[in-house]
Amino acid sequence: MNYVVDFFEGSKEQSDLLGGKGANLAEMTKLKLPVPTGFTITTEACLDYLKKKENMTNELNTEIQQHIHSMEERTNKKFGSAENPLLVSVRSGSKFSMPGMMDTILNLGLNDKTIHGLIKKTGDARFAYDCYRRLLQMFGDVVCGIDKDRFENQLNFYKTKKQYQSDTDMQAQDWQEIVAIYKDIFIEVTHQPFPQDPNEQLVLAVEAVFRSWNNRRAITYRRLHDISDSLGTAVNIQAMVFGNFGSESGTGVAFTRNPATGEKGIFGEFLLNAQGEDVVAGIRTPQPISKLELLMPEVYQEFLRLSHLLEYHYKDMQDIEFTIENRKLYLLQTRNGKRTAKSAFKVCIQLVEEGIISKQEAIQRISPTMITQLLHPVFEPDHLKHAEVFAKGLPASPGAACGTIYFTAERAKQASEKGEKVILIRQETSPEDIEGMVVSEAIVTSRGGMTSHAAVVARGMGVCCVAGCEEIYVDEFLEQATVGEVVLRQGDTISVDGTTGTIYRGSIPYVEGDEWQLLETITKWAKEEANIDVKANAETPTDIKTALKLGAEGIGLARTEHMFFGEKRLFEMRKMILAEETAALMDPLNKLKEFQKEDFHTMFTLLNGKACTIRLLDPPLHEFLPQTEVEINHLAKATQRTPAEIEHRMKELHEQNPMLGHRGCRLAVTTPQIYEMQVAAIIESAIEVAQKEQGITITPEIMIPLIGSQEEMQWLRERLNQTIQKIFTEKNQVISYKIGTMLEIPRACLTAEKIAEVADFFSFGTNDLTQLTYGFSRDDSGKFIGAYQNKKLLKADPFQHIDEEGVGALMKIAVDKIRAYDSSIKIGVCGEVGGDPQSIRFLKKIGVDYISCSPYRVPAAILTIAQEK
């Protein structure tokens, strides 16, 4: 078994075996770039070592010796020689770069004998002792676990004693004394002297790298980033080049494009007379790379040439480490540079424009998370590290926001009118809170899941939201939120991260996400590749405009009950709900019709002929009932009834289980006038807008919610058709329209071929379908889903990611049944999972024709579809 590979034998494709760093060192060697010679001990060697209970085999040791030997031949130096010593660096390198693992040891091979060789060869004792003390420090830290501070403290103590300002004041003699002090530290801490034998140093260093694969920080990092434990790390052994060899030497790191903004051009920094870790350690301030052009123009030009070459070769922005030794440039590492979302978009677009990658490749490089980061604000990572977490909940709507907290919509609204940035905290929100929600920077609820009112509405508006923070006790009466001992009161400041679901105390600086043009370009390219449409769940003019701007092909779900928010409309809605007989129903219905027509006019005009699916009323009515005494009194006065009569009617309407009760199409079976009013408003508006805006054809798609049987659908369809025919006669005009239904009741899925006989189209309402398939209340599941996940009884929240096995199976049955009846019937998805990239992959597989999701999720959905093609 070969466990060691020379740089000139490997290639960039071998990152599994050689780790990312090793594979790229091999690739650069193959490209004949100035890479110090070396070899890689493979990840398989690491896994074997860990399996054998941490004992390096003789075979591996021999292989390493052989490769050291051939390095000696190539460099004309000798490992352990007192005349002309070969010194090496030892660096870890797994397939994915992993902070937290043991990283680097430099100058390995130095000892009390070889140091004289180094002095003789370089004529520089100061440099040589500086190298030796660095080896002691790094070796002590990563191999023997000696706290770095022990070394640092001694050095600082020494410098103070000598009244030196910085390391540059240290002379050869000083470093020599530091070496002696450091060697004493080894004995003090490990009761062993620093190993003088270079081969022993090497074996110990390699073993330490292997073992660091399993240190706690590395394991945690892998958990967080979903990296498999079974990969192992490689170890790179490379001949040393010295950036600390005087003023014509140095070391640095540079990106081929700006990793923060994506701007084209070399971006980086370097330090003269320094070794690698000096740049990172922050002891001295590095200089911008542009300064190198003044100091060593020919080295700078060479670096530019090589960085272009590497970028072109890897077809991506590179992050390059280099060292200059006596004006000679060496490359020590290259990799695709980590970057912000903005930079990622910009670099992709530039690379396509420069002809380096295709549009298809560009699309594959953008992730849905990057889109979220581009569209929504994010907290500054440096500040986040020190922030105090108050509570955690569900990441219901992404973004970052700070503000003062309020516990009622009314107070939030008042404060916002005074110019305050507010955050609304509620146990859960209801349609009544909408005016407070609209003005809030963020919304926090202690109850409810990913499809609760707060979550759905916030996502629709693009407002940051953390829902279902069960650990917060929200007392709306006392206006305080409590977690354990910590009590926050009205007016206190918090910061909400809707992307992670974390709430912090105090205010944290954030950066705005406003790079819409960059997104437009990528979305346009993605649309060229996408083979199913993405529509939006939207009903307000702002949401529709946002959806269209973000690439939606129309509206896949306009929830008409959302059009009844706001004081005046809600009031009419309440009058309608509480009406006891038809006569009392008609007045609020006519008023509501006017509101609806106003909205449909705007909607059709904005859509300019694009598809529009309007869902008829579907709320569990309790969501709209008056809640306070003031509201009851107000309603009583307006309807000439007593408050007691109103309360009595409310009692009559009370339901034990409203989500399974009098809602959706059942409302229309008992009170058909409601849907008739809505359909009249839709059709009249469509005719009027088409007349006004010559040239656009409007084909409204009317969607009936919560259908469970063919009979239900047929009965309603016939009634609605009659209403529509009456309008055509009155207006003396006919337009085309469709009447379809949602698939959100398991029975509807199982009998879909029958419903298909009377439905023009279908759309899966996966929120209710999940609720009814699992029997998990969508408003209460937050209380136990976390426990299910912790106990590994559930992989994911099924309201967030589609449950492929259960809900997904039902959906597949429905799709197959509908297609068998008529393959041309359009089937969409408009539940929340329609905006979840992971679920979209599955939905595509079962063959839906389009998906519909909140406006801000549209671009990521288009991208996912394009990537899956």
- Rounded to a whole number of angstroms, the minimum distance from the CB of residue 341 to Mg ion is 33
Is 832 a residue that touches Mg ion (CB under 5 A)?
no
CA distances from 280 to 276, 503, 684 (A): 7, 32, 68
Is 746 a residue that touches Mg ion (CB under 5 A)?
no
Cα–Cα–Cα angle for 296, 300, 305, rounded to 5 degrees: 150
User: Rounded distance, CA 778 to CA 630, Å?
Assistant: 30
- Rounded to a whole number of angstroms, the minimum distance from the CB of residue 591 to ligand PEP is 23
Q: Which of 453, 465, 469, 562 is catalytic?
A: 453
Q: Looking at beta carbons only, is 15 or 852 nearer to ligand PEP?
A: 852
Tell me if 298 is assigned to a ligand binding site.
no
DSSP, residue by residue, 361-403: HHHHH--HHHHHHHHS-EE-HHHHHTPPEEEE-EEEE--EEEE
- Rounded to a whole number of angstroms, the minimum distance from the CB of residue 713 to ligand PEP is 17
Residue 766 binds which one of Mg ion, ligand PEP, none, with CB within 5 to 8 A depending on kind?
Answer: ligand PEP
Q: Looking at beta carbons only, is 252 or 556 nearer to ligand PEP?
A: 556
Known catalytic residue at 453: yes
Residue 474 binds which one of ligand PEP, Mg ion, none, with CB within 5 to 8 A depending on kind?
Answer: none
The type of residue at 416 is S
Is 103 a residue that touches Mg ion (CB under 5 A)?
no
Q: Which two tokens stand for residue 706?
A: 């919560």
SS3 848: coil
Is 765 a residue that touches Mg ion (CB under 5 A)?
yes
User: Rounded distance, CA 333 to CA 320, Å?
Assistant: 6
Chain centroid offset of residue 405 CA:
26
Stretch that binds Mg ion, among 74-82, 112-120, 642-650, 742-750 (CB under 5 A): 742-750
DSSP, residue by residue, 303-354: HHHHHHHHHHHHTS-EEEEEEEETTEEEEEEEEEPP--HHHHHHHHHHHHHT
- For the CA atoms of 96, 99, 102, 103, what is the dihedral angle to 10 degrees? 80
Cα first-last separation, the chain: 40
Known catalytic residue at 622: no
Q: Looking at beta carbons only, is 117 or 834 nearer to ligand PEP?
A: 834
Tell me if 765 is assigned to a ligand binding site.
yes
- Rounded to a whole number of angstroms, the minimum distance from the CB of residue 740 to Mg ion is 14
Count of CB atoms situated within 10 Å of the CB of 866: 22
HEC assignment per residue over 562-590:
HHHCCHHHHHHHHHHHHCCCHHHHHHHHH
Tell me if 768 is assigned to a ligand binding site.
yes
- Rounded to a whole number of angstroms, the minimum distance from the CB of residue 765 to ligand PEP is 3
Stretch that binds Mg ion, among 326-334, 476-484, 762-770, 845-853 (CB under 5 A): 762-770
Q: Looking at beta carbons only, is 596 or 766 nearer to ligand PEP?
A: 766
Q: Looking at beta carbons only, is 135 or 450 nearer to ligand PEP?
A: 450
Question: In the window 51-90, what residues touch Mg ion (CB under 5 A)?
Answer: none
- Rounded to a whole number of angstroms, the minimum distance from the CB of residue 533 to ligand PEP is 17
Tell me if 40 is assigned to a ligand binding site.
no
Phi, psi of 120 (to 5 degrees): -65, -45
Helix, strand, coil % in the chain, rounded to nearest 5: 50, 20, 30
- Rounded to a whole number of angstroms, the minimum distance from the CB of residue 771 to Mg ion is 8
Tell me if 767 is assigned to a ligand binding site.
yes
Q: Looking at beta carbons only, is 201 or 451 nearer to ligand PEP?
A: 451
Residues of this chain that interact with ligand PEP (CB under 6 A) are 451, 557, 559, 618, 744, 765-768, 830-831
Residue 831 binds which one of Mg ion, ligand PEP, none, with CB within 5 to 8 A depending on kind?
Answer: ligand PEP
User: Rounded distance, CA 265 to CA 304, Å?
Assistant: 9
Q: Given CA atoms 308, 309, 314, 320 in this order, what sign does their dihedral have? A: negative
Stretch that binds Mg ion, among 118-126, 496-504, 676-684, 739-747 (CB under 5 A): 739-747
DSSP, residue by residue, 697-736: ----EEEE-S---HHHHHHHHHHHHHHHHHHHHHHT----
Q: Looking at beta carbons only, is 334 or 451 nearer to ligand PEP?
A: 451
Stretch that binds Mg ion, among 181-189, 301-309, 561-569, 768-776 (CB under 5 A): 768-776
Is 828 a residue that touches Mg ion (CB under 5 A)?
no
The type of residue at 69 is H
Tell me if 766 is assigned to a ligand binding site.
yes
Quickly tell me which residue has 């977690």 as its tokens: 483
- Annotated binding-site residue numbers for substrate: 559, 615, 744, 765-768
Q: Which residue numbers are catalytic? A: 453, 830
- Annotated binding-site residue numbers: 559, 615, 744, 765-768
- Annotated binding-site residue numbers for Mg(2+): 744, 768
Binding site for Mg ion (CB under 5 A): 744, 765, 768
